[in-house]
Chains A and B, each alone.
Chain A
Amino acid sequence: MNDLSASSRITYGAVPLQPGLVRRVRGLSDKALAWLFITPTIVLLLAINIFPLVWTIYLSFTNYRANRSNAPVKWLGIDWYQTILTDPDIWAAMQVTAHFVFWTVVIETVLGFGLAFLIDKKFRGHGMWTTIILLPMMLSPAVVGNFWTFLYQPQIGLFNYVVAFVTGRSASSFQMLGDVTLSPWAIVIVDAWMWTPYVMLICLAGLRSIPDYIYEAAEVDRASKWRQFWSITLPMALPFIMLAVLFRGIENFKMFDMVNLLTGGGPGSTTEVASITLKRAAFESWRTGYSSAFAIILFVTVFGLANIYVKALNRVKSR
């Protein structure tokens, strides 16, 4: 579908003004005004995003330590990159991240699409219920994540109580945040609770973008509902689903706040996602050079995915 518009990066935009009109403008020329308007933003981003990024790249080639800023700085070349990319512990952290990203994205996509599909049936009051469902994703992941530690308390927590009530186990017999097999799932549950609405909202837009006449034509052809779902609904909503999947994937790849408050990476390092490893190296061990290299590795990954995301964004935009 939409290959033409998808493959150019940002397609919609300005149609130039008629030249005659431009010449008639008094005051600042359009060109000067355009730069006057855009420059402040670019300067701010250069100062607070790009300059630090360049600095990080430089630091990643050195043995600089932020807690010993007077020590002589030695140039190490790509040593840190080799260290990180052959370190089984970092590899393990990447797999923890993979578990988190994979399962949150799968659960959120299935639940989110399912909800969108149901809401699209336009039952009475669907607007109000949609707004209610959307609430969790607007809240602060840190503050809410912190409160989930209370729900997960072994004896007194509501979550354990409900699970105990349903399964008949004792509420103090399992610790969601203290058990090595359960804690990776504890963070998945909170993330799914929080971000399923996000996927739902985008899928809903996808479903609503399918024109009715396609279904009407399918009815005329006597296609079954099941068949209509697989050959109309799903393929036509797919660009939207892809968009949601990509964004959730990127966001959860760099997940920090919620996990930091729920488990802090523990028990042991079973929930130590990449950002937590990075934070420990950078702000607890103060291995600035090493953590800069790790930061660049994460950054390049996110940057690559962001390219794909913008491509997906344009594909959806043209609908």
Chain B
Amino acid sequence: MSIANTAHSVVEPSRNTRRLAGSLVVLYAVITMIPLVWIVLTSFKSPDDAISYPPKVFFTPSLEGFCNLFTTRSRQTPEFIRTLGPPQGLCDDIARSRNMVVAGPSNYVPRFVNSLIIAFGSTVLAVALGTLSAYGFSRFRVPLKDDLLFFILSTRMMPPIAVAIPIYLMYRTIGLSDTRLGMILLYTSVNVSLAVWLLKGFIDEIPREYEEAAMIDGYTRFQAFVKVVLPQATTGIAATAIFCLIFAWNEYAFAVLLTSGNAQTAPPFIPIIIGEGGQDWPAVAAGTTLFLVPIVVFTVLLRKHLLRGITFGAVRK
């Protein structure tokens, strides 16, 4: 670390400078967190608290938002509700206090499961293809290498709506519309470009002497790749996988245009959660909270590699 060597150097900021810089950054961080905190708070509010004026910071926590997220309810007369047996579970209890009964599960869980399957499926495929190609590009002399790499990157730059038109027609023709397989293939093709670029950076950093030594010991190149390079690249592969996972998890444009039911993921579904008389904000907030939590965890895990990920592996620091 250069800081240690230059502890008394003239370029070291003074204590007051540091304090001022620190407080400004903390101020920005606090402001920028308010919307996120508000999402979490709203998910634990009752519908009345959620739309009260002035906005409530202190309120009695309620699980109604989560209940409304996971169930569909139907309105009934109080007389009818009295004829029913004791409420089944907390959500039924809350619903009955509003003259409703739980009619069944909502579509949130299937949409969430779709998100999981599509995100993991496309990540596994993209990382597998990406690792192979990245190794190929890193170690061998490939004709037109620069052009191929640019071509691979440029596919990620395409405007999603422009790609969606022919994909829609193509999937309609070959029967992949609104299927998980179709979405997995599509997300794989978008993610593979990031995977190739990122992993090429990671593999470039593994000294080729390791493989050469292994090959002199009698390994074939393929064995050297599997037994020497792959273990060395584990961190890079994991970081790449998380990036692919986050992209597929967050993707909205393709999902909203190409899926409508069976394969619909959570991002197009959450905005259309509606209750009686408009959007049911606590339920939307609950769905949003559950959807965002994995990403927050991954971001913390990934913080050392974020810079690499957003610059396609160019800036490594």
Contact = CB atoms under 8 A, between A and B. Distances in A.
Q: Direct contact between A and B in the complex (CB less than 8 angstroms)? A: yes
Interface of A: 8-10, 12-14, 16-17, 21, 24-28, 30-31, 33-38, 40-42, 44-45, 47-53, 55-56, 59, 66, 111, 115, 118-119, 121-126, 129-136, 138-144, 146-148, 150-151, 153, 155-158, 161, 171, 193, 196-198, 201-202, 205, 208-209, 212, 215-216, 219, 240, 243, 247, 250, 253-254, 256-257, 260-261, 275, 278-279, 282-283, 288, 291-292, 295-296, 298-299, 302-303, 305-307, 309-310, 313-314, 316-317
Contacts of B268: 142
Nearest to B195: A41
B52 interface: yes
26 contacts: A28-B222, A33-B221, A41-B132, A41-B133, A45-B152, A118-B24, A129-B26, A135-B296, A135-B299, A140-B252, A141-B252, A142-B252, A142-B271, A143-B271, A151-B38, A196-B32, A201-B307, A205-B311, A212-B9, A257-B256, A261-B252, A278-B162, A282-B161, A299-B162, A302-B159, A313-B314
B110 interface: no
B295 A138 contact: yes
B141 A16 contact: yes
A38 B159 contact: no
Contacts of B215: 21, 24-25
Contacts, number: 345
Contacts of A21: 212, 215-216
Nearest to B308: A205
The B interface is mostly helix, strand or loop, or mixed, namely helix
Contact of A55 (B170, B172, B317): B170
B53 A140 contact: no
Nearest to A162: B34
B21 interface: yes
A298 B22 contact: no
A102 B22 CA distance: 29
Contact of B137 (A13, A28, A161, A240): A13
B90 interface: no
Given A44-B192, A131-B303, A143-B291, A310 B150 contact: yes
A142 B292 CA distance: 12
Given A27-B220, A158-B38, A171 B53 contact: yes
A157 B34 CA distance: 13
Contacts of A144: 35, 288, 292
A44 B306 contact: no
A20 to B, nearest CB: 11
Given A33-B222, A158-B38, A48 B189 contact: yes
A45 B155 contact: yes
Interface of B: 2-3, 6, 9-11, 13, 17-19, 21-22, 24-26, 28-29, 32-36, 38-39, 42, 50-55, 129-130, 132-133, 135-142, 145-146, 148-155, 157-170, 172, 185-186, 188-189, 192-193, 196, 204, 208, 212, 215-216, 220-223, 246, 249-253, 256-257, 266-268, 270-271, 279, 281, 284-285, 288, 291-292, 295-296, 298-300, 303, 306-307, 310-312, 314-315, 317
Given A30-B221, A132-B33, 4 more contacts: A205-B307, A257-B252, A283-B168, A302-B157
A59 B165 CA distance: 10
Contact of B129 (A14, A40, A115, A306): A40
